[in-house]
Structure 1
Amino acid sequence: MYFGRGNVTTIPNLSQSKLCKLPLPVPNLAEQRKIAAVLGAVQRAIEQQERLLQLAAELKKTLLHQLFTHGLHGEPQKQTEIGPVPESWDVVPLGSLAKIGNGSTPKRGNDGYWQGGTIPWLNSAKIHERFITGAYQFVTDLAVKECRLPRVKPGSLLIAITGQGKTLGNSALVSFETCINQHLAYAQFTSPRVMPEFVLWFMQTRYEHLRSISQAGGSTKGALTCGYLKTYPILVPSLDEQHEITRIFAALDRKEQIQLAKQAALSSLFRTLLQQLMTAQIRVHDLDFSMPGATGLGSENSDQRKSEP
């Protein structure tokens, strides 16, 4: 509404004199109250979704600890190098279940490695997706050949072995064949003893441990190695238990995605209403007040319309 009214300098600004001259739409008090009520109702719905997402995250964290410590059947526990686990579960090195390796980054200045590329190539920024279903960078066959890039198979586990912030120690599954950079390691499963999805969820419980190991040498940057990952202990229950545990977390993930979509839709609605109500592109009496939190607005709105010319 006020875009372009500021002073044009290196740093755009709005002087007090220009601010005082800006037109300010002022509806009558009844409509102001109505606008505030509508926006408040949407804001409360957004806050409710935020609380639900927080509760879902806490539930998932609790379940991760419970299921990977006690299992599904409440059986006796045994002490292992990673703490107490169900007595019937095995603890084996990741290298006995999967081929471990990492990738590299072809030179950006070599157009032959990137232009017209069709082979997916991932960096560590994708690790936060948990289930990676697409790539936005691609390399050529020449890059794969000359840089000896590994072709990581679908269903492989990716682990961030370096990174700042929350990246280091995170894991994800990739659903397509891809190349990766040097900041990611892959575990390409070769054993029929494990479900990749189960190992992914187990690795979620080891996130803090992996970060602490990588920084144990005093480095502020931190890094894991493929050699270390080959020896990393993995829990292996029966396939039936793996399937059931994976099913539980898949259901929680679906609910979380629904809540995130609702939150995004409500946030978009709030921004749209804020803009259009404040600029009179839509009038408050044109809205449907059947939304939660807007109880009683309809009768007030009816009274307002009667009083308007």
Structure 2
Amino acid sequence: MVPNGWSIESLGNVTEKVGSGVTPRGGSNSYKLSGIPLIRSQNVLWGKLDLSDVAYIDELQHNKMKGSFVYKNDVLLNITGASIGRVAVSDIDEANVNQHVCIIRSEELNSEYLKSFLLSFQGQKQIEQCQAGGNRQGLNFEQIKSFKLPVPPLPEQQKIAKILSTWDKAISTTERLIENSIQQKKALMQQLLTGKKRLLDESGKRFEGEWEEYKLSEITNFIRDGTHGTHKRYESGVPMLSAKNITKQNTVDFDDAPYISEEDYNKIHARYTIKSGDILLTVVGTLGRVALVPEELAEKFTLQRSVAIIRVAKGICNQFLMQLFSSSDFTHLLHRKSNSTAQAGVYLGELGKLKILLPSFEEQQKIATVLTNADKEIELLEQQLADLQQEKKALMQVLLMGKVRVVVD
């Protein structure tokens, strides 16, 4: 059911063009340093066009591809590969596309409204259904033309698009704030974790004195990795985490972790247990992801061999060491020390030999506090972004289906 004045239409009935281009003769060898932008699937993101690495063709090649001219306000849909379903609106006056991007042009549909519909649950569901059978490689034009969409009067489409664009702008602004905060933290880490910038001590004076060099084994109580054994998996029991459960955000994620029995857990941990405050560092496969075991551990768990457990000695700040481990310099060091097998790994013996420069315990704590506060600021922005994205998703659901009507000026 749609509101009065709306209709359900096949996309082919309300468009003038549904089609894509071709790869220019000569492929990437025909690309130029400047000229007419050739939009490829990597340029079409979720709701926006990214021309940071756009290819260019010359005027002669462009004119040979007249059937795939792109104009401002054309809707562009990725139709092949892993990026199927990504949609953006062209904001440039003249361009071309290759065979992986479909141009959708309509006089009856507002471009931003159409983009929003194709990105909505209803739009993406139709795209996915076209992939459910044997045609998993791409969408064809007839499938695209068959998409059903609700069509309100043009002024209402424009108003819906304007409302949703307000959320898009807020989302883009928050994404930029997150990226800026991440870059600022990286710069701060580079300064603070190397001693190039010194903070103030409790008396308000800058910390002084040389940092001292230690092997990692000299500043830890133990370094060991998870179980090397094969253990039967169960529907419930004790979670057994691997490197994939240590996130880029320096947290421990229990999602999708397999379970082992209590008996196996007790055998693995007959001589040690994982404690709150221990540092977890990925040392096989994905190298250098790091997290602290939370102070309030909700449940006991064990680890596979891809994760090392590091317990710091007295006088060493675990938060400082975690921040140091999460730096790009330390990750590069791990990669240099890793073996050259198909799955990169760092032996525990090599890990213990790694040399680290350390300031006084008080300065370690100060540095850790500053960097932890930067992390919290990023986490807050990421939560705000998730909230905005969820709000927009809910808004799309009611506006694009006419469940909530907008007031047209």
Q: Same fold (TM over 0.5)?
A: yes
Equivalent in 169, 189, 200 of residue 64 of structure 1: 189
Q: Which secondary structure does the structure 1 equivalent of 2:346 belong to?
A: coil
Identity across matched positions, percent? 23
How far does residue 44 in structure 1 lie from its aligned partner after superposition?
1.2
Partner of 1:252: 374
Q: Which secondary structure does the structure 1 equivalent of 2:224 belong to?
A: strand
Equivalent in 336, 339, 344 of residue 212 of structure 1: 336
| 8 Å contact from structure 1 (residues 31, 284) kept in 2 | yes
CA distance in 2, matches of 1:133, 1:127: 6
| 8 Å contact from structure 1 (residues 124, 160) kept in 2 | yes
| 8 Å contact from structure 1 (residues 106, 143) kept in 2 | no
Partner of 1:230: 352
Partner of 2:263: 142
| 8 Å contact from structure 2 (residues 277, 318) kept in 1 | yes
| 8 Å contact from structure 2 (residues 199, 366) kept in 1 | no
Label 1:26 to 1:232 Cα distance change in 2 as closer, same or farther (>3 A).
same
How far does residue 145 in structure 1 lie from its aligned partner after superposition?
4.1
Partner of 1:168: 287
CA distance in 2, matches of 1:4, 1:131: 36
Q: Give the TM-score, by structure 1 length.
A: 0.75
Q: Which secondary structure does the structure 2 equivalent of 1:130 belong to?
A: coil
Answering whether residue 272 of structure 2 is matched by residue 153 of structure 1, we say: no
How far does residue 143 in structure 1 lie from its aligned partner after superposition?
0.5
Amino acid in structure 2 at the alignment position of 1:58: Q
Label 1:17 to 1:223 Cα distance change in 2 as closer, same or farther (>3 A).
closer
Answering whether residue 267 of structure 2 is matched by residue 123 of structure 1, we say: no
Amino acid in structure 1 at the alignment position of 2:181: A
Partner of 1:93: 215
Label 1:24 to 1:132 Cα distance change in 2 as closer, same or farther (>3 A).
closer
Structure 1 segments, 4+ long, off by >6 Å, are 4-8, 12-19
Partner of 2:6: none
| 8 Å contact from structure 2 (residues 280, 310) kept in 1 | yes
Equivalent in 307, 310, 323 of residue 201 of structure 1: 323
Answering whether residue 304 of structure 2 is matched by residue 185 of structure 1, we say: no
Q: Which secondary structure does the structure 1 equivalent of 2:150 belong to?
A: coil
Partner of 1:55: 180
CA distance in 1, matches of 2:193, 2:146: 64
Q: Which secondary structure does the structure 2 equivalent of 1:25 belong to?
A: strand
Partner of 2:385: 263
CA distance in 2, matches of 1:87, 1:95: 23
**CA-atom RMSD, angstroms?**
3.0
Amino acid in structure 2 at the alignment position of 1:131: T
Give ranges in structure 1 of 5+ residues lacking alignment: 75-85, 286-300, 305-309
Q: Which secondary structure does the structure 1 equivalent of 2:396 belong to?
A: helix
How far does residue 42 in structure 1 lie from its aligned partner after superposition?
1.0
More helix by share: 1
CA deviation digits over 1:177-230, x for unaligned, max 9?
A: 5421111111122x2111111100111221122123215xx4442210110111
Bigger RCO of structures 1 and 2 (CA < 8 A, at least 6 apart): 1
| 8 Å contact from structure 2 (residues 246, 253) kept in 1 | no
CA distance in 2, matches of 1:43, 1:271: 11
Label 1:16 to 1:232 Cα distance change in 2 as closer, same or farther (>3 A).
closer
Label 1:64 to 1:25 Cα distance change in 2 as closer, same or farther (>3 A).
same
How far does residue 252 in structure 1 lie from its aligned partner after superposition?
0.9
| 8 Å contact from structure 1 (residues 115, 140) kept in 2 | no
| 8 Å contact from structure 2 (residues 251, 290) kept in 1 | no
CA deviation digits over 1:281-308, x for unaligned, max 9?
A: 11123xxxxxxxxxxxxxxx4xx4xxxx
| 8 Å contact from structure 2 (residues 239, 301) kept in 1 | yes
Label 1:20 to 1:198 Cα distance change in 2 as closer, same or farther (>3 A).
closer
